[in-house]
């Protein structure tokens, strides 16, 4: 697929509207990606679960709609699990066969009067789905109660659901032995960012890298609660916050103990760019793999309906591996890096050796370094001469077009400036500059940048900060520039790969 602005290595539906990733589950060698989809148009509506599968998280096969809108009930966001023990009795031949997949999603009444939780099951590797006759399985008579994420609690041998009570800025935790009867355990919130309504929660446990095991052995582990917020995000509009804490099977308690190194009350954003929303992580990734992999809807709700692509609207971000690490400041934070499978896209490599930026906007590259699909890994060292600004421009065109990715040592902020990135006029807030706080490490800042036909994703200092932004450049704008605004900034090293399209 080769239309103008058609992502070449990000997932898009062939046509029509897409929003949140749903039902992310790994089963029998396939990464399933369901997604909010309008089968009938390029605007939001008739929400159904679209479906795609991949064996490598890079190339996706498109499958027919899995769960359509039915009888005045749309299929809103939710999750999916493998019911290994056939607890819900949806397995073939009473459970003797392969374990069933079970999807848990929000049934949204089109008249807006009710949102409740529904389930559907599949015994053919997600190809066809049957709705449970006893739906809804959880109805609290609320109009805004959505986006259930279900996981298996191994220790207690039961299912846990986290689901948003949107307007109250809360999530609730329920338990079940069979996916059909759910019992309330606890609530969390309001907390952190509360300007917008709460949506699309996710909950998972991760080892803490760099943390010494506690007495009694074992690795230090923490729980992460992710919550999407419809307003008040890092760039305005929607955003995704997270909490690190403990979950004892019933209750989530966020770490905000205060004391040295604590950042009590500070909102933690998963990604600080404009275009990252409603992420979800994959369920049932085999232990031998062991990764927590997530993907998000790559747009901001403020202008999602106005982005001038056709015949599709919206893409997913790159799939990312999430990790918890102790930072130099002694706090535990979520890091993210694109999954290693994406290295398969690497084509020709151009390596730039160490060099000094010796003047305003000096360009280290010869003009042969260009491309619309690129991965760039660069390490900058500040010269220590005071305020320094440096960075990389991508999708640079003769017409003055450019997307500026930079760092300002004075403010300690990375930024993306897309004011001249190409088409910006479709929404007044699109053509703007966004920032992310990220400290240099030993006087250095590393940036890993992925450039596709209509997006940039930047991962700084091994994924300590991430920024994801849409851009809509002219197809002819394919230049790359490295720049610095003061003497002394060093480029410690830089590698650039031309990336292959998944369509070819």
Q: How far is the CB of 78 from ligand FRU (least distance, A)?
A: 8
DSSP tag of 182: -
DSSP tag of 266: P
Between 159 and 198, whose beta carbon lies closer to ligand FRU? 198
Between 162 and 445, whose beta carbon lies closer to ligand FRU? 162
With b for 16 or more beta-carbon neighbours within 10 A and e for fewer, the 407-432 pattern comes to bbbeeebbbbbbebbbbbeeeeebbe
Cα gap 180→332, rounded to integer Å: 36
Q: How far is the CB of 106 from ligand FRU (least distance, A)?
A: 5
Using rule CB under 6 A, residue 114 touches ligand FRU: no
Between 182 and 459, whose beta carbon lies closer to ligand FRU? 182
Q: How far is the CB of 163 from ligand FRU (least distance, A)?
A: 10
Contact 327, 464 (CB under 8 A): yes
From candidates 12, 54, 77, 486, binder to ligand FRU by CB under 6 A: 77
Catalytic residue among 2, 20, 83, 124: 20
Cα gap 374→130, rounded to integer Å: 42
Interface pattern 337-366 for ligand FRU (x via CB under 6 A): ------------------------------
Contact 148, 104 (CB under 8 A): yes
From candidates 25, 47, 322, 451, binder to ligand FRU by CB under 6 A: 47
Between 36 and 477, whose beta carbon lies closer to ligand FRU? 36
Place of tokens 């790559």: 298
From candidates 12, 79, 106, 114, binder to ligand FRU by CB under 6 A: 106
Interface pattern 1-40 for ligand FRU (x via CB under 6 A): ------------------xx---------------x----
Between 278 and 357, whose beta carbon lies closer to ligand FRU? 278
Cα gap 318→147, rounded to integer Å: 21
From candidates 199, 372, 452, 464, binder to ligand FRU by CB under 6 A: 199
Using rule CB under 6 A, residue 116 touches ligand FRU: no
Contact 284, 82 (CB under 8 A): yes
Q: How many CA atoms lie within 13 A of 209 on its CB side?
A: 11
Q: How far is the CB of 238 from ligand FRU (least distance, A)?
A: 8
Using rule CB under 6 A, residue 146 touches ligand FRU: yes
Of 275-294, binders to ligand FRU (CB under 6 A) are 278
Count CB atoms within 10 A of the CB of residue 55: 12
Using rule CB under 6 A, residue 46 touches ligand FRU: no
Give catalytic status of residue 289 as yes or no: no
Q: Is 246 helix (H, G, I), strand (E, B) or coil?
A: strand
Q: How far is the CB of 145 from ligand FRU (least distance, A)?
A: 10
**Beta-strand relationship, 320-326 and 198-209:** parallel
Q: Beta-strand (E) ranges in 2-114?
A: 16-27, 30-38, 48-54, 61-67, 73-82, 101-109
Using rule CB under 6 A, residue 321 touches ligand FRU: no
Q: How far is the CB of 33 from ligand FRU (least distance, A)?
A: 15
* DSSP string for 273-302: SSS-EEEEE-B---TTT--EEEEEE-S-TT
* Residues in contact with ligand FRU by the rule CB under 6 A: 19-20, 36, 47, 76-77, 106, 146-147, 199-200, 278
- Catalytic site residues? 20
């Amino acid at each position: 697929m080769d239309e103008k602005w058609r992502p070449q290595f990000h997932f898009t539906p062939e046509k029509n509207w897409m929003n949140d990733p749903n039902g992310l589950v790994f089963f029998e060698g396939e990464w399933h990606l369901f997604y909010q989809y309008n089968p009938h148009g390029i605007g939001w509506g008739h929400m159904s679960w679209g479906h795609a599968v991949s064996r490598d998280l890079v190339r996706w096969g498109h499958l027919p709609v899995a769960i359509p809108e039915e009888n005045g009930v749309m299929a809103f966001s939710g999750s999916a699990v493998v019911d290994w023990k056939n607890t819900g009795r949806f397995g073939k031949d009473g459970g003797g066969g392969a374990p069933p997949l079970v999807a848990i999603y929000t049934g949204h009444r089109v008249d807006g009067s009710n949102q409740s939780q529904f389930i559907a099951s599949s015994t053919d590797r997600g190809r066809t789905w049957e709705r449970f006759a006893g739906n809804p399985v959880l109805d609290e008579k609320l109009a805004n109660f959505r986006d259930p994420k279900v996981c298996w609690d191994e220790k207690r041998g039961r299912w846990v659901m986290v689901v948003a009570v949107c307007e109250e800025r809360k999530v609730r935790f329920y338990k079940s032995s069979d996916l059909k009867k759910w019992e309330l355990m606890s609530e969390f919130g309001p907390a952190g960012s509360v300007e917008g309504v709460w949506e699309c929660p996710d909950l998972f446990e991760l080892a803490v890298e760099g943390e010494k095991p506690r007495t009694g052995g074992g690795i230090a582990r923490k729980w992460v609660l992710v919550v999407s917020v419809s307003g008040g995000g890092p760039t305005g509009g929607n955003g995704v916050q997270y909490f690190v804490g403990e979950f004892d099977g019933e209750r989530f308690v966020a770490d905000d103990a205060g004391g040295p190194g604590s950042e009590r009350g500070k909102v933690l954003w998963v990604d600080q760019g404009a275009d990252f929303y409603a992420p979800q992580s994959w369920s049932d990734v085999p232990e031998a793999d062991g990764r927590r992999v997530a993907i998000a809807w790559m747009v901001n709700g403020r202008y999602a309906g106005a982005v001038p692509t056709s015949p599709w609207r919206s893409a997913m971000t790159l799939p990312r591996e999430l990790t918890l690490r102790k930072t130099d400041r002694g706090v535990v934070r979520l890091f993210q890096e694109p999954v290693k499978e994406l290295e398969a896209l690497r084509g020709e490599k151009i390596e730039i050796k160490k060099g000094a930026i010796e003047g305003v906007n000096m360009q280290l590259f010869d003009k042969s370094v260009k491309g619309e699909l690129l991965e760039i890994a660069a390490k900058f060292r500040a010269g220590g001469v005071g305020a320094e600004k440096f960075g990389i421009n991508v999708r640079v065109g003769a017409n003055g077009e450019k997307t500026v990715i930079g760092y300002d040592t004075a403010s300690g902020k990375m930024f993306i400036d897309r004011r001249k990135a190409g088409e910006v006029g479709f929404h007044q807030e699109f053509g703007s500059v966004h920032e992310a706080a990220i400290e240099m490490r030993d006087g250095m800042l590393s940036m890993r940048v992925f450039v596709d036909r209509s997006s940039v994703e930047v991962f700084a200092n091994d994924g300590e900060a991430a920024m994801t932004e849409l851009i809509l450049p002219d197809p002819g704008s394919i230049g790359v520039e490295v720049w610095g605004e003061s003497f002394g900034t060093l480029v410690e090293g830089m590698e650039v790969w031309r990336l292959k399209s998944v369509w070819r």
